[in-house]
Amino acid sequence: MKCGVVVFPGSNCDHDVYHVLKHLLNVETVFLWHDDADLKGSDLVVLPGGFSYGDYLRAGAMAGLSPIVDEVRRHAEAGGLVLGICNGFQILLEMGLLPGAMRRNLGQRFLCRDVHLEVVRDDLAFTSQYSVGQILRMPVAHAEGNYFDTPKNLDALEKNRQVVFRYCDPGGGPDDPNGSERGIAGICNRDGNVFGLMPHPERCSEELLGNVDGLALFSSVMKSAAAAMEVEA
Amino acid sequence: MSRAAEPTVDLAAAEAQGLTQEEFENLCHILGRDPNHTELGIASALWSEHCSYKSSKAYLREFPTQGAHVLQGPGENAGVVELGHGWVAVFKMESHNHPSYIEPYQGAATGVGGILRDIFTMGARPIALMNALRFGSIDAPRMRHLVDGVVRGIGDYGNCMGVPTIGGETDFHPSFNGNILVNAFALGVARRDSILRARASGPGNPILYVGSRTGRDGIHGATMASESFDADSEEKLPTVQVGDPFTEKILLEACLQALKSGAVVALQDMGAAGLTSSSFEMASRGRTGLVLNLDKVPRREPGLTPWEIMLSESQERMVLVAQRGKEDVLRHVFERWGLEVETIGEVTATGRAVIRDQGKVVADLPIRPLTDGAPVYRRPALEPAGLAERQTKAKVPDPGDPAKALTKMLDTPELGSKSWIWQQYDHTVRTNTVRGPGGDAAVVALKGTPLGIAMTCDVNPVYCYLDPRTGAMQAVAEAVRNLACVGAEPLGVSDCLNFGNPENPEVSWQFRESVRGISEACRALDVPVISGNVSFYNETEGESIHPTPAISMAGVLPDLTNLPATGFVEAKDQVILLGVDHGEHGGSAYMRLLHGVEQGLPPAVDLAAEGSLAALLRYLAFDGALRSAHDVSTGGLGVALAEACFEHGLGADLKLPVDPVGFFSETQARAVISVTPKAVDGVLAEAERRGVPALVVGAVGGDSLKLNLDGTKSKIQVAELHSVWSTALPRALEL
């Protein structure tokens, strides 16, 4: 198993994801430079949070055109795992690897706080260590996380089981910190190998930080990779 | 294009650029001739209050600046203290008051940008930001606009940089109606041996320019910051700089990478007075000279004059001295990050700054005579008229039902929760934030070590108005106490001294007294001053702000395993009050917010008692005996206890040794702690051994705060109090 964390100019959660993968889970992990069209053999490609290219024009818009994204697209189309967190999710939307778009948060302000999430899918490579209905606590930190699509597309998204995480209150009731349609916090593509979410699992993967609800997302990927290797063997 | 004739240089021109007659004559004497227009601009910027500290320098020498942990005291871009395990912390606090009042969004944003550059020019990676904000009355003209702009400006810049904003303080007081304060703090870490000092050395070494192009923004901003506001201040808009956090983020990454190459001799950001102060400061510290070719400076627009290029305060620009022959290594790093690099000059041994434009010398100035020869003033100081009256003790009205009075106090922007502000700041990026905003001190973990770094910033301008010396001492003492509440040993102070016009003898007196208060407290509590900033001329239409010597302090925790909480953690834990009340209401929040009285002497500061209390708290924290610790400050015991209940929504049943008036007294050297029932005896014994008064006052539990104040009983639901407190600020902002 090898992980690659893409570094765009303006990425600022690249080190945080790297830390979780490399130091907490002891997985071989490398940084991938935006200007190099080379994934260095990564099995999992992570598009980290931050403000790629300053988020000028529109969050994720410029990154969606940089040299490495063609490789990321090829990797995704071949069934490789791609995880986009926060700005990385926005980039996946801009690339068209995931459907929909982001609007500014309802309330128009940057929001940094813990939110609660309901696990909707536990049969993905990214979520196998969770269980459906489980309530997670995770920090968000974004100004544009208000997920939007047309009602018809949203219906299709739900029908195709592409909603992975939904915002909720601590008891599992409905909540929507940023105004997202249908409380959507994270979605996958139809094949389930590309996953984007606004909350930051890498910021809640260590006891020291008082919350480890995010760690299972990364260990799910490791576990599924290990299982896949066993099958191959 | 043809250039207009150089403007005439005479006394009137010098005065227009901020020099006095005496300073102008001194300049001519140093040069042995009259300066030309460009030279006058350079000299007036170097000798501006903002760059030269001419009215403060003589007093600042009183600060203790040495200590076992200090690697770099004042005089560099930021101070450096030792953390242990081979790591050092680099930190500084700086004001951006004037620009923020003129244009709050850009003013505050570039304040954050400037302080971050001060940290990474030292070779350290910034890992935490804080800010201390003072707004006027929320109903004052433009105030909601200023709050909104400043908060968005700080957030947008810090968030994009990926440096968490983990603490600070925000207050509202009418004395800031016409001149708000925006003080930004940044802390970085580096390996001990990779600290860089901004000294231009090695004649023949090239000087490189990196980052944004130079434009006409912020020209003579340092001089603007050295003047008072008047009715025409709106006209100063062009002196405010415009920030680009994205460029700064790549500048940060590129500079840190460049430093690893070993090809950088010195690095300096272009902050106040731009290329002028950065080049003169580097050469002055290195005791060298330099040649600059202005036609090599990348520009945003054609037609900039040498005077404009030397005085522009365009943001996100750096000058660096490279090792001769290794420019290409650096050029490669910066270009990889998409940054523009130009060689704009070289270090010389002449001790002079020779500035050329298209081959022609446009300025030729001796460096050290100008930097070391900057004027130093001991301005006349006079105790303010009416001080005795101001310090007369006022009658303290009975609050009636203490719980109701407490609710009223928490229902103000002053004492209400500031979460509306700090939720707009990314405080969890970099995954080090162990204690974020809202507690006594913020704490970050230092990855790869067991260490924690704690930080806080404190000052009560009302105390300082009533008695600047005591008020300044209180700020230092409270900072030490806040660090102690998380178990941190203080390492150093960075001060940000915000005052009115120093040419006003009453302001000069306030400044002198404050500096003495800080010095005394720092000596007694053994915390050296390692960096800082002075901001004068904070007045509008002749009305000064309250003196505000903001104290930021950083400390270290040997490990993070036993980190106490701020608030109560578990039912049945015993609540212990450390320290005793002396019924002090001068400048208290109770008198100010509920009765509109700002009179009397501020609470006395007993530095020995503060020292013992802090040592006890640190010992108990390290020992693992502390479940929670929260200091008693603004709003007294009442507010401290309410805040202790909020963290986990836990109530307490308490019998306190104060009456309802004393419930809001602000006597210093006190803290509220909670410990497990088993730990009580040991804690009391340790307190007694250290001479800290300690009293068990009740237990944590239930969903109400139940009070018995010297026989007066009162009770309130924590949820009810919390709802008032948590919504007070957004309601006051009418959102």
Domains, in order of start, for chain A: 2-232 (3.40.50.880)
Q: In the prediction, which pLDDT does B234 show?
A: 54
Tokens of A97: 């690897």
What confidence category does residue B236 fall into, taking pLDDT thresholds of 50, 70 and 90?
low
User: Is A80 an 8 Å CB contact of chain B?
Assistant: no
For the question of residue A168 being annotated catalytic, the response is: no
Nearest in space to A110 (alpha carbons), one of B436, B425, B734? B425
Q: How many Å is the Cα radius of gyration of chain B?
A: 26
What confidence category does residue A230 fall into, taking pLDDT thresholds of 50, 70 and 90?
confident
Residue B654 exposed, middle or buried by CB count within 10 Å (0-12, 13-18, 19+): buried
Would the pLDDT of B3 be above 60?
no
Best B429, B430, B433, B444 residue to mutate vs chain A (most A CBs within 10 Å) = B429
Per-residue pLDDT, averaged over A147-169, amounts to: 98
What confidence category does residue A57 fall into, taking pLDDT thresholds of 50, 70 and 90?
confident
Residue A159 exposed, middle or buried by CB count within 10 Å (0-12, 13-18, 19+): exposed
CB atoms within 10 A of CB B83: 22
Whether B424 sits inside 8 A of A110 (CB atoms) is yes
pLDDT, one tens digit per residue, over B634-651 is: 999 999 999 999 999 999
Q: In the prediction, which pLDDT does B714 show?
A: 96
pLDDT, one tens digit per residue, over A195-209 is: 999 999 999 999 999
As a three-state string, the secondary structure of B263-332 is CEEEEEECCCCHHHHHHHHHHHHHCCEEEEEHHHCCECCCCCCHHHHHHCCCCCEEEEEECCCCHHHHHH
pLDDT, one tens digit per residue, over B51-103 is: 999 999 999 999 999 999 999 999 889 999 999 999 999 999 999 999 899 99
Per-residue pLDDT, averaged over B149-175, amounts to: 97
Would the pLDDT of B463 be above 90?
yes
Whether A112 sits inside 8 A of B434 (CB atoms) is no
In three-state secondary structure terms, A77 is helix
Per-residue pLDDT, averaged over B225-248, amounts to: 71
Residue B670 exposed, middle or buried by CB count within 10 Å (0-12, 13-18, 19+): buried
List the catalytic residue out of B37, B96, B220, B630.
Answer: B96
Listed range (B169-178, B194-203, B699-708) with the worst mean pLDDT: B194-203
Q: In the prediction, which pLDDT does B235 show?
A: 58
Q: In the prediction, which pLDDT does B319 show?
A: 95
pLDDT, one tens digit per residue, over A176-202 is: 999 999 999 999 999 999 999 999 999
Would the pLDDT of B541 be above 90?
no
Whether A10 sits inside 8 A of B246 (CB atoms) is yes
Per-residue pLDDT, averaged over B490-512, amounts to: 97
Whether A112 sits inside 8 A of B423 (CB atoms) is yes
Tokens of B122: 């030292």
Q: In the prediction, which pLDDT does B226 show?
A: 65
Q: In the prediction, which pLDDT does B183 show?
A: 98
Q: In the prediction, which pLDDT does B613 show?
A: 98
What Å distances lie between residue B53 and B377, B501, B539, CA to CA?
9, 13, 18
CA dihedral B536, B538, B540, B541 (to 10 degrees): -30
| Euclidean distance between CA atoms B123 and B260, whole angstroms | 9
What confidence category does residue B1 fall into, taking pLDDT thresholds of 50, 70 and 90?
very low
Q: pLDDT higher for B523 or A107?
A: B523
Would the pLDDT of B233 be above 80?
no
> What is the DSSP code string of B100-128?
HHHSHHHHHHHHHHHHHHHHHTTT-EEEE
Would the pLDDT of B692 be above 50?
yes
Q: Which residues pair with B444 in a beta bridge?
A: B433, B453
Provide the edge-to-edge strand list for the sheet that holds B704-709.
B628-631, B671-675, B574-578, B694-700, B652-656, B704-709, B712-717
The single residue listed with the structure tokens 């903001």 is B550
Would the pLDDT of A222 be above 70?
yes
Find chain A residues with C-beta within 8 A of B437's C-beta: none
Q: In the prediction, which pLDDT does B188 show?
A: 98
Q: In the prediction, which pLDDT does B734 show?
A: 87
Per-residue pLDDT, averaged over A75-96, amounts to: 96
Largest distance between two CA atoms of chain B: 86
Q: In the prediction, which pLDDT does A233 show?
A: 65
Best A142, A203, A208 residue to mutate vs chain B (most B CBs within 10 Å) = A208
Nearest in space to A53 (alpha carbons), one of A70, A65, A41, A69? A65
User: Is A228 an 8 Å CB contact of chain B?
Assistant: no
List the catalytic residue out of A71, A94, A118, A202.
Answer: A202
Best A8, A12, A198, A209 residue to mutate vs chain B (most B CBs within 10 Å) = A12
**Displacement of CA A175 from its chain's centroid (Å):** 20
| Euclidean distance between CA atoms B263 and B329, whole angstroms | 7
Would the pLDDT of B619 be above 70?
yes
Side chain identity at B592, as an amino acid letter? R
What confidence category does residue B2 fall into, taking pLDDT thresholds of 50, 70 and 90?
very low
Residue B587 exposed, middle or buried by CB count within 10 Å (0-12, 13-18, 19+): buried
Would the pLDDT of B258 be above 50?
yes
Provide the edge-to-edge strand list for the sheet that holds B87-95.
B70-72, B79-84, B87-95, B181-191, B125-135, B165-172
The single residue listed with the structure tokens 């170097």 is B46
Listed range (A70-84, B220-234, B339-353) with the worst mean pLDDT: B220-234
User: Is B426 an 8 Å CB contact of chain A?
Assistant: yes
Whether B160 sits inside 8 A of A110 (CB atoms) is no
Nearest in space to B347 (alpha carbons), one of B369, B371, B321? B321
Would the pLDDT of B573 be above 90?
yes
CB-defined contacts A:B, below 8 A: 84
- If you ran DSSP here, which 8-state letter would residue A171 be given? T
User: Is B160 an 8 Å CB contact of chain A?
Assistant: yes
Q: In the prediction, which pLDDT does A225 show?
A: 82
Would the pLDDT of B332 be above 90?
yes
Whether A12 sits inside 8 A of B155 (CB atoms) is no
What confidence category does residue B723 fall into, taking pLDDT thresholds of 50, 70 and 90?
very high
For the question of residue B96 being annotated catalytic, the response is: yes
What confidence category does residue A231 fall into, taking pLDDT thresholds of 50, 70 and 90?
confident
The single residue listed with the structure tokens 């401290």 is B640
Q: In the prediction, which pLDDT does B527 show?
A: 98
Q: In the prediction, which pLDDT does B61 show?
A: 94
Q: Which residues pair with B454 in a beta bridge?
A: B443, B555
Question: What is the average pLDDT score of chain B?
Answer: 94
Interface ipTM: 0.96
Per-residue pLDDT, averaged over A154-169, amounts to: 98
Per-residue pLDDT, averaged over B148-159, amounts to: 97
Facing residue for A51 by CB, picked from B160, B336, B447: B160
Q: In the prediction, which pLDDT does A112 show?
A: 98
pLDDT, one tens digit per residue, over B348-376 is: 999 999 999 999 999 999 999 999 989 99
B254-271: string of b/e by CB count within 10 Å (b at 16+)?
bbbebbeeebbbbbbbbb
Question: How many H-runs (helices) and E-runs (strands) does chain B carry?
Answer: 26, 28
